[in-house]
Amino acid sequence: MRESTMERAAVSITPQQVQQQQEFASLLAALLAAKYTEAPRAHIRTFGCQANEADSQRMAGQLQQCGFVLCDNPDDAQLILFNTCAVREHAEDRVFGNVGRLKQRRQADKHLRVGLCGCMPQQEHVAEQLKQSFPFVDLVFGTHASPRLPELLYKLYTTGRRVYDISAEQNEIVEGLPIERGSGVAAFVPIMFGCNNFCSFCVVPLVRGRERSRAPQAIVDEVRGLVAAGYREITLLGQNVNSYASEGYDFPRLLRELDAIEGDFWLRFTTSHPKDCTHELLDTMAQGKHICRHLHLPVQCGNDAILHAMNRRYTAQHYLDLAAYASEVMPVRSCRIFPSPATSLSAFPGKAMSSSATR
């Protein structure tokens, strides 16, 4: 069932481009220092998955470079950023509700700036809705523009005009951004971005772009640094984490490389796709000394016809065979397989009540 992984070359942002954003950050920090008697405060509200959490941590690091102090209470902030999710309609409705409640405060407070970023504005119809129905929102940018946050903020604060950037996918990997993790115990480490699967119900490839993987050495260096800093739980992230492919490395090989790092830590990963889950990956988990025997493997449905309509590219039997092999190499008491309700679609066109349990 597993298709061969085709490695897609990612373009790394040059050190000069990263330096350019640092220069924008320095310029903005000087501007804000002259404008405010004390450092302005920024608040980030994150909706959605762990990938969004990781993005927010990088934006938090950039905001600190720009001269902002992070705060937990949006009422205390001069800059409020909503990092959004487009996978579930309920999350989108919550975002619009939270942004709408800021309208009167934004109109009354000349110092307040409101921004919305992430997956929602990467959709053109949402960006247009924000432009027309939420004129008090100052800054709107999609997933591909987030590394240029200092530049976008500098433009906002120097021109006083609304800034929109929903750039199309650039197939870029950005290394060297500052990160504010907020915890000294657990850390997220993105290893790949985007998705090539195009499941018929999912918007992720449209808002996160096609798959691109970080260089293995960059990942190893980051994890080694986190372990040295005392982090104990490290979660590898990707929209389809087990399709990782870079410089001749696939996901099992990368896991083995990370597992060889000395130290006292746990290694987790999410989210996996059943079509890319192999016996080699399960063997690597079973043999690892740091790898948690915890497998989040979305099932979506137990009916082959519906799985085909979903473009999932595996069968119910393939999923059951994976679960059986995982239990064989990792006894049930030490391995937990999670086909969680959150990753099972209770409704899909053509799906009857009995479809979930039949093949």
Nearest-angstrom CA–CA distance, 235 and 289: 15
Which phi and psi (to 5°) does residue 81 adopt? -115, 130
Tell me the average pLDDT of the chain.
88
Domains of the chain in start order, with CATH, are: 11-165 (3.40.50.12160), 181-357 (3.80.30.20)
More confidently predicted of 339 and 225: 225
Q: Which of 124, 58, 47 lies closest to 82, judged by CA? A: 47
With beta carbons less than 8 A apart as the criterion, state whether 74 and 45 touch: yes
The pLDDT-based confidence of 17 (bands split at 50, 70, 90) is confident
Nearest-angstrom CA–CA distance, 221 and 199: 33
The pLDDT-based confidence of 86 (bands split at 50, 70, 90) is confident
Q: Which of 217, 224, 297 lies closest to 259, judged by CA? A: 224
Give the tens place of pLDDT for each residue, 65-83: 999 999 999 999 999 999 9
The DSSP call for residue 73 is -
Q: Which of 161, 166, 165, 116 lies closest to 137, judged by CA? A: 116
Which phi and psi (to 5°) does residue 295 adopt? -120, 110
The pLDDT-based confidence of 1 (bands split at 50, 70, 90) is very low
Mean pLDDT for 281-294 is: 95
Give the tens place of pLDDT for each residue, 160-209: 999 999 887 666 788 989 999 987 899 999 999 999 999 998 888 888 88
Nearest-angstrom CA–CA distance, 239 and 221: 21
What residues does 82 pair with on adjacent strands?
45, 116
Can you give the pLDDT at residue 4? 36
Q: Which of 264, 350, 359, 261 lies closest to 319, judged by CA? A: 359
Can you give the pLDDT at residue 5? 39
Quick check: 10 pLDDT over 70? no
Can you give the pLDDT at residue 170? 63
Can you give the pLDDT at residue 2? 37
Quick check: 271 pLDDT over 90? no
Q: What percent of the chain has pLDDT over 70?
A: 88
With beta carbons less than 8 A apart as the criterion, state whether 21 and 148 touch: yes
Mean pLDDT for 83-111 is: 89
